[in-house]
Amino acid sequence: MWRDLHPIGRDKDTTGYRRYAWTAADADCREWFKEQATARGLTYELDRNGNQWAWLGDPTAANAVVTGSHLDSVPDGGAFDGPLGVVSSFAALDELRSREAEFTRPLAIVNFGDEEGARFGLACVGSRLTAGVLTREAAYGLTDGDGVTLPRAMERAGYDPEAIGPDPERLARIGAFVELHVEQGRALDLSGDPVGIASSIWPHGRWRFDFRGEANHAGTTRLADRRDPMLPYAETVLAARREARLAGAVATFGKIAVEPNGVNAIPSLVRGWLDSRAADQDALDTTVTAIEKAAHDYARAHGVDVSLTRESFTPIVDFDHALRDELTRILGKETDPPLRVPVLGTGAGHDAGILASSVPTAMLFVRNPTGVSHSPAEFAAEDDCLAGVRALADVLEGLACT
Ligand code: GLV
Ligand code: MN
Ligand code: MN
Ligand code: MN
């Protein structure tokens, strides 16, 4: 499976992946998914929000067990964030078939569309639409960096944007969702375990800061006469680090847009996007409020205006305790001596976090020896990936088979 998936959307220079929603690379990933489904005799289905499903058993029956992840990437992302969950799902099904497992519940493998939000700025668009936490109107307003709207991009890719919207009937048929994912930190490396179970996802959000000053000549404008928005922006970046450290949170300015973006022009606009996350809501609120105050103070000192827009927010997700315990029980039982399966929280967002408000949901993490993610250097060893597949197969067997 990897052999066919690896080359899709991979940049030759950076070796990172550029698989953005509704682009040619995304279409190739979708084609790959469809081929995997068809080759296994599964019933292939594209839902109203562009998520792909591969069904073993009746797609309209109740109490389905669903597994899967996403195939899109961040800019220059790694090979595992998303794809490991989808590849492992197909591999786990192959494993169950070789065990001649008898299914008592329908099983589906899903590829959620636009998980990373790399193109339209909002993460988990496919699952948010399905869960009804992103309205159709709001989705229609999403625009990429070239001014192409989401519905237009879908249309260009051959999909019907008219159809998008909440899908409660589909969610009501799902009895459990389990997403396997490469770990995006080093907890498993430090504990020495190949596989872990997720406890929670930290609350997290994205905020856009617009610093507006005055464009002017870089050579002839006296320093005292400038209204340069780059200065309060730079100070705000430093404040973000300081405030996050004080509150025990994380805060990142990873994306910036400058106008007019000329080497010899003082900027008129500096737009910076803040991503901030923390283990609890209070720490996150404290951090973002302090960064906002710093931005206003620095902007005022430089004669610059600043405005702040919250572009997305996901509250804390506490994964289903009963399902979590069930996973621990299944994984502990299947091996001798029992597999030690740590339970860990994460600062990364996932479709599982969106589904968790409507469906009993759990996650498995596979060890990442460096913890590096959202980078071409992201890695998981083959043995650990196989341990992940076996764990997922055990879980699916425990949930969906006699
Ligand atoms: C998605 O991977 C996110 O956590 O931003
Ligand atoms: Mn990611
Ligand atoms: Mn992911
Ligand atoms: Mn993600």
| Fold designation for 204-314 | Alpha-Beta Plaits (3.30.70)
- CATH superfamily, with its number, for domain 2-202+316-400: Zn peptidases (3.40.630.10)
Q: Is 348 in the pocket of ligand 1 (CB under 6 A)?
A: yes
Q: Domain-by-domain residue ranges, the chain?
A: 2-202+316-400, 204-314
Q: What is the DSSP string of 125-156?
A: HHHHHHHTSS-HHHHHT-B-TTS-BHHHHHHH
Nearest CA to ligand 1 atom 1: 349
Cα–Cα dist 321/199, whole Å: 8
Q: Which ligand sits closest to the CA of 254?
A: 1
Q: What is the mean pLDDT of residues 338-349?
A: 89
Which pTM was predicted? 0.92
Token digits for 193?
Answer: 């375990």
Nearest CA to ligand 1 atom 3: 349
Cα–Cα dist 134/253, whole Å: 24
List, for residues 320-330, the tens digit of each pLDDT value.
999 999 999 99
List, for residues 158-181, the tens digit of each pLDDT value.
999 999 999 999 999 999 999 999
ipTM confidence: 0.91
* Alpha carbon of 116 to ligand 1 centroid (Å): 6
Token digits for 184?
Answer: 């995006």
Token digits for 280?
Answer: 């609890």
List, for residues 19-64, the tens digit of each pLDDT value.
999 999 999 999 999 999 999 999 999 999 999 999 999 999 999 9
Q: What are phi and psi of 221, to 5 degrees?
A: -90, 120
Q: Is 185 in the pocket of ligand 1 (CB under 6 A)?
A: no
